[in-house]
Structure 1
Amino acid sequence: MPHPVSNPDPLNQPAQLDDYNLFLSDLPLQQSVANEAGTGMLTPLNHLGAELGTAGCFALGRKANLHPPQLRRYDAGGRRIDHVEFDPSWHALMQLATASRLHNGAWGDADDSGIARAARFILHAQVEAGTLCPVTMTYGAVPVLQRTLLAAGAPLASWQAALLSGQYDPSDLPASSKAGLLIGMGMTEKQGGSDVRANTTLAVADGQAGPDQAYRLHGHKWFFSVPQSDAHLVLAQASGGLSCFLLPRILPDGSRNAIRLERLKDKLGNRSNASSEVEFDGALAWLVGEEGKGGRTILEMGGHTRFDCALGSAGLMRRALSIAIYHARRRYTFGKPLVAHPIMANVLADLALELEGITALLLRLARWREPAATEPEQALARVLTPAAKYLVCKRGAAFVAEAMEVLGGNGYIEESDLPRLYREMPVNAIWEGSGNIMALDLLRALEKEPAVPAALQAFFAPLASSHSLLRPAWAELRTLIAHPQEAQMREVAERLVYLAAAAVLLESCDSTVADAWCRGRLQTRFSQFGANIWHADTLLSRALPDF
């Protein structure tokens, strides 16, 4: 008699989703790009989706998280080096990200657009999210630096070419000698956190005043993001008040700046990326903008990074949904595929609907954030950026948890990628301002920027008059924003995002999808996914082709 096989091939276990085109498999993203920018961007995004969706790229993402960075504080002779060492997989992923110009976009390539970059950001997030931290900070820093330290005749004008290149250069060289540059951030301190006005780090003018005026920084940063960056934007107290400074890691003469890495943070997620605590012992830095206006400078940079937090969350949600639908179509329970059970179909369709609305809104917001946007569009972007960051990043964790449940126990093991996606989600909600900070930023815009209420009225009122499901939702929101109250700002943010997504879907999307969104997000609200859903078959067919 034949002996039984000790470890037979598992039955009824779908293969891992590892080799597919991330863009062609995402009809909502394709349509949103085409709606906002035409079809000219579809071909390059198709090529990128094919490149990023290979098994090799997904393997790089897993390896980078399995082997997180290590801090080497001293060399063999006892000299302080403060070197952050990464696995080669990290460097390979960073090369992909910078080649996509996620770190400089249209700042480095005038033919690029914010819409195309937003789509690329969503695609890259599906492979590995930690690498997005250095590129988003650099992207936010470039326009600020171009007006100040990189302008012709400014102290660091020689950095311009490298900062705007599409190359990744991890070498320990002065910035002026490198092929590519990355910029990090150091804002928060032990005693203050988001209250940066409580910062105690001091900036003392070094030498004679003039266009090349340098400062010496003394103090610390509790969170110093991406310490391997070529330079950081940091906040410190100067004689004129809280100010922003550019702090290089390697000085022009090739020596290391007086930045002491105390430790790398042991984080819940984002483990491929390094975050640190630092001490400044007379570190050399240059003033960005004017003394006393550091908060305003950082807020400009924060507008870009906050939007990227929402984009990154959308990318993580997209990968989780793809895994869940792919599994549900191939896993059989009680004699039929999981997806054929109405209760499971409702859950998956509701997840797909959530991503439909988020994707449409974020790509519209990318267009409104471009320099060519009209003043009303820019006003809409001003309120929708913190609102979208607030809601999308918060919904992300519950979204991935629901996708994990589709796979059951298999979704809870590391090989499925879903635990890593789940751990990545909270950092987007916390970094660059947690939920309450976003709500307060929304309040500030409603109270202090006169163009905002008028822009909201001009955008929503015509649609509300034509669509019965929008009418009561806009009336309720209009009442809340007429006299905004701090305690209500979380509700305002949520209502604003759901209503704005409904408006964009009604303007530019399949009418069936728009109807499902208005019914499921405006007319009826449930706390869990899948409680009630309309047009499930349409949503599932759009969410992922059955390859």
Structure 2
Amino acid sequence: MPTAELLLDGLPAYRLSEEGRGVASIANMLTITRIHNSVSAAAAMRRVVQLARDYATRRTAFGKLLKDHPLHMQTLARMEVETRAAFLLVMDVCRLLGREESGLASQLDVHLLRLLTPVVKLYTGKQAVAVVSEGLESFGGQGYIEDTGLPGILRDAQVLSIWEGTTNVLSLDVLRCVARSSGMVLHAYFTHIKALLAGASGVSSLAPPVKAVGDALSELEQFVQIAASRSPSYLELAARDLGYSLACIYAGALLIDHASWKDASSHDKHAALRWCEQELCLVASKQKRGCYDSSTASLDAALVFDQLIQD
């Protein structure tokens, strides 16, 4: 995905769409580039995890290898779970795109692709920066030295949350997607996840993560019902947390589905368990704490600009 700074001096220009309809005219291209961005994010995460894992078998600290320090292994395991989740999210969106391009997509597939493209891009872009940063930290001072090549991985990862739509822009795109489909994209989302969970219901070892994702999905449904009666500003304040929640719940369902396959390993099951230990529906818990109430926006602005806040 090349980018450049161009100086266009005296160059003729031709309008390609109606004024104000520029983004709409390139919407199909944005689907492809956002998916490319998500692939790059998953790849960056996998690269740094592989490097950190290898380093843990060679570097000695406090009299033993890093791989023999439980806390370090816990950190790498969390990075591994994030990487697996990102990979499954990306590959599922690629599956949906392939079905659409080959004319095999159902209406559910089309709705899912429209919703998940911005969701997966915004989530993996952010997680790539977090995981790669954690990866550099696992090398200690070596992670900051240019000659190792590691700082370049972090700099490259930083752009993933910026181009093809920043996190906030994509979060608002999710809201537009939901509004314009009259809720059909969310219906497709809920239907597909419930189907994935049902497919894993017979695996006893996956009962805890199945329950965790099912509970989070119910919380998300309740949020949607409550938010439908609120003002547009309420939803806008919740947009980023909604995007994260959609991604976390969907990733959990994919990890569970993957772990339920006949040839799944114990590692696959453990990854699903570890993923579902976190809070999966952030938007619901913040809603309960009143984080999106009408006063929030003005209080946030006052905080940022150091303005007087009236009690």
State the TM-score, normalized to the length of structure 2: 0.75
Distance 2:116 2:281 in 1: 21
* 1:461 is the counterpart of 2:194: yes
Q: Which amino acid aligns with 1:519?
A: E
Matches within 5 A, 1:25-424: 133-134=1-2, 225=3, 275-283=4-12, 285=14, 288=16, 290-292=17-19, 293-370=21-98, 371=100, 372-424=104-156
Residues 178-198 of structure 1 show CA distances to partners (whole Å, capped at 9, x for unaligned) of: xxxxxxxxxxxxxxxxxxxxx
2:177 aligned partner: 445
Distance 1:464 1:480 in 2: 20
Q: 1:517 aligns with which of 252, 275, 290?
A: 275
Q: Which moved more, 1:461-470 or 1:382-391?
A: 461-470
Contact kept, 8 Å, 1:463 with 1:470, in 2: the verdict is no
Change (3 A) 1:480 1:308: farther
What's the offset of the Cα at 1:422? Answer: 0.8
Higher relative strand content:
1
Structure exhibiting the larger radius of gyration computed from Cα positions: 1
Contact kept, 8 Å, 2:115 with 2:174, in 1: the verdict is yes
Q: Which amino acid aligns with 2:217?
A: W
Aligned identity (percent) is: 30
Residues 427-449 of structure 1 show CA distances to partners (whole Å, capped at 9, x for unaligned) of: 11111111110000000011111
Matches within 5 A, 1:492-503: 492-503=242-253
Distance 1:375 1:500 in 2: 18
* 1:476 is the counterpart of 2:219: yes
Matches within 5 A, 1:15-30: none
Contact kept, 8 Å, 1:481 with 1:492, in 2: the verdict is no
What's the offset of the Cα at 1:522? Answer: 3.3
Aligned partner of residue 519 in structure 1, secondary structure: coil
What's the offset of the Cα at 1:360? Answer: 1.1
Q: Unaligned 5+ residue runs, structure 1?
A: 1-132, 135-224, 226-274, 525-547
What's the offset of the Cα at 1:337? Answer: 0.9
**Count of aligned positions:** 251
Contact kept, 8 Å, 1:383 with 1:442, in 2: the verdict is yes
Q: Which amino acid aligns with 1:281?
A: G
What's the offset of the Cα at 1:414? Answer: 1.2
Distance 2:188 2:121 in 1: 20
Q: Which amino acid aligns with 1:341?
A: H
Contact kept, 8 Å, 1:314 with 1:359, in 2: the verdict is yes
What's the offset of the Cα at 1:521? Answer: 5.5
Higher relative helix content:
2
Q: Which moved more, 1:295-304 or 1:343-352?
A: 295-304
What's the offset of the Cα at 1:508? Answer: 2.1
Q: Unaligned 5+ residue runs, structure 2?
A: 202-209, 229-234, 260-267, 283-311
Residues 41-72 of structure 1 show CA distances to partners (whole Å, capped at 9, x for unaligned) of: xxxxxxxxxxxxxxxxxxxxxxxxxxxxxxxx
What's the offset of the Cα at 1:419? Answer: 0.2
